[in-house]
Structure 1
Amino acid sequence: MGLTDYRALLIDCDEVLVDRDSGVWAALQPLLDSRGGQPSREPVLAEFNAVVATLYPRFTELGFSGLLCFAHRQLAASWGMHASWEEGMSFARSAGNWSLFEDAPGAMLYLRKFYRLLVRGDRDSEDRGVLCDRLGIVADDFISLAEDPHGHKLQWGELLPVLHVTRPSVGAQVALDRCLIGRNRTRQPSPCAAEYCINSMADLVAQHQLSLRR
């Protein structure tokens, strides 16, 4: 199916539109400064993600901010340090300031001329409004992974065909065609493990423009 044949895009928020890893790394700096040494970014982020994964079953109880706060405190404890609740919540609230990838705003502006844009991610309700404004979508088009992980609240029949724009590390959790964005890869694997494999949102725009010319 060509890109121009889809009616909607279901776009994952973090690491597709929002530079989550850079946001987490920046917010961890006070803790890392106290720890000392010169830790490498990737191992620290891998350790943080492992802690988040153990806490995720409690998402409904904790919310996104609570999950990040507990992850921060557990990470500190694993390093033999103590982090206060205030420090944990300061870390958690940094999520509202995580930056968009440079190509995301322009790509969203272009793509919404051709598709209904749905964004899928983890955010507390009080943070969604600002994020939706930054992305140029209405609040109803932000789909909470915690509240609706498989998109059951959406009437897919009214939107189909839908293309799921996601990261290579995310499994096919939604029964839709997929476009894999490997922002940190020097080149995409061949053959592609989905309908499309691209390097950025800007690349998606370029591929769509090519499709229009065919």
Structure 2
Amino acid sequence: MRLTDYRVLLLDCDGVLIDRDSGVWTALQGLLVGTGVVAQKGPVLDRFEQVLHGLYPRFEELGFTGLLCFAHRQLAEALQVRASWEESLSFARTPVTWPLFEDAPGALLYLRKFYRLAILCDRDAQDREALCERLGIHTEELVAPAQGQAWLDQQHVPFEQALWVRASLPEPAVQGAVCLLRRGRRQAGQCPVDECINSLADLVAQHQLWLRR
């Protein structure tokens, strides 16, 4: 399908709109100083992602803030660094300061002219209003990542009319087309999904090209 054929975009919050990696890396500096060695950003973030992914089965119990708190503690243990509960809780509150990607606000303004938007976001209730204000969106546009397919069903949107804009390949696979946003990450071979883009600005540019055809 052409980009102009979709009715709905479901966009990942972290990795598509919010630069989570930069936010986490900055927030981990206090912990990394305790290792006594110069840490490499890529391996540290990969390890953090593994820890966080392993905790996600407890999301309903802990919430997003709780997941980050325990992820910080588990990462500290893996790095053999002592971290207090206060430090872990402080880290868990940093998502409110994670930076936006520069192209996110403008791209959202453009895309909402042509699509209905749903932002796949797992923030706790107390953080949602501030996030919406930063992104210039409405709270009803936030959808829990695990509820994306159910949301489409509730809105009576056929899956073939929805495009999922993801920061990584979805697991498990979703119904409908997937657009992978790489943001500078190189991937060998052809695009593994329906669309691949380098940024939200790239998505806007490709949409404009389709409008001219």
Aligned pair partner of 1:152 in 146, 150, 154: 150
Q: Does 1:209 align with 2:208?
A: yes
Superposition RMSD in Å: 1.7
CA contact (8 A) 1:180 1:194 kept: yes
Percent identity, aligned pairs only, is 55
Matched, 1:174 2:174: yes
Q: How big is each residue's C-alpha offset from its partner over 1:103-138, in whole Å with a ceiling of 9 and x where there is no partner?
A: 111111111111111100221111111112222221
1:1-214 alignment to 2 at 5 Å?
1-145=1-145, 148-154=146-152, 155-158=154-157, 161-171=161-171, 173-186=173-186, 189-214=188-213
Deviation for aligned residue 1:81? 2.1
CA contact (8 A) 2:166 2:179 kept: yes
The TM-score with structure 1 as length reference comes to: 0.92
Q: Distance in 1 between matches of 2:84 and 2:76?
A: 10
Given that residues 65 and 92 in structure 2 are in contact (C-alpha distance below 8 angstroms), is that contact kept between their aligned partners in structure 1? yes
How far is 1:159 from its partner?
6.5
Q: Is the Cα–Cα contact under 8 Å of residues 15 and 167 in structure 2 kept in the other structure?
A: yes
Deviations 1:111-168 (A, max 9, x none): 11111111002211111111122222211110112xx444314424247611111124
Deviation by residue 1:164-196 (Cα, 9 ceiling, x = unmatched): 11124334632011111111324x654322221
What's the secondary structure of 2:70's corresponding residue?
A: helix
Segments of 5+ residues of structure 1 without an aligned counterpart are none
> What secondary structure is seen at the aligned counterpart in 2 of 1:77?
helix
SS in 1 for 2:10: strand
Gaps of 5+ in 2: none
The runs of 4+ residues in structure 1 deviating greater than 4 Å are none
Tell whether the 8 Å contact from 1:7 to 1:159 is kept in structure 2 after alignment: no
Q: Deviations over 1:10-38 (max 9, x none)?
A: 00111111111111000000011122210
One-letter identity of the residue aligned with 1:98: W
1:196 corresponds to which letter in structure 2? E
**Hey, what's the Cα distance between the residues in 1 that align with 2:50 and 2:133?**
31
Partner SS for 1:35:
coil
In 2: Cα distance, 1:152 partner to 1:200 partner: 27
2-structure distance, mates of 1:152, 1:48? 29
- 1:89: Cα distance to partner? 0.9
Equivalenced residue count is 211
Q: Residue 209 of structure 1 aligns to a residue in which SS?
A: helix
